[in-house]
Amino acid sequence: MGLGVAEREQIAKRAASEIKQGMIVNLGIGIPSLVPNFLPSDMQVMLQAENGVLGIGESPHKGEEDKHLCNAAGYPVRAVKGASYFDTTMSFAMIRRGKIDITILGALQVSRSGDLANWLVPGKKVPGMGGAMELAQKAKKVVVVMSHTDQKGRPKLTETCTLPLTAAGCVDLIITEKAVLEVDGHHFILKELMNGSTIDEVTRLTEAEIKIDMPFSEKGE
């Protein structure tokens, strides 16, 4: 079963808290596209899209869309004051030179060593890996937002990825409807619980071993 609207928004809100003043940020499709709706109005950040926009704002209300202005997924966006436009060559030059401070992406699987698989769904036709390959390798911080399990209830946080990789050892932080976990290159480290989840529940729904690094009061003990 997929995530509900409230869960998706909660994940996006938590991901927005990782963005700091002055950052250049790249957002993937799906849950990441909700992140701008939860940024403080007085925070000065520049959101970049691979199709050639730097300075994306909140999603426009229905009827206020500009058909000439969209993000990399083709969804309508607003532009903020100071926004700029450029071709995809310049856009990917920014990414490959490490100019992106943080990227927030969806995922199909993340391994305990931080490997990311987020582009190929078995049995489905896909256009290709897209910009995620460059972003995962070159962004200064990689945050994954996703459901904790797939639609069949299988863990998406795994010992090793069984799906084709987007990039190896790239993920820094994972936010699901169950928990917030860091990756240290060898382990998942539980930092926060979400939606009233328990440590036992998160452990049961995660394939790899988890280390716990939470304040005593948040452990429910």
Catalytic residue set: 50
DSSP string, 65-119: --TT-B-TTS-B--EEEEEEE--HHHHHHHHHTT--SEEEE--SEEETT--EE-S
The residue type of 12 is: A
- Return contacts of 29-35, CB within 8 angstroms, 24+ apart: 29/71, 29/72, 29/73, 29/75, 29/106, 30/106, 30/145, 31/3, 31/106, 31/145, 31/146, 32/104, 32/105, 32/106, 32/145, 33/59, 33/71, 33/73, 33/75, 34/8, 34/9, 34/59, 35/104
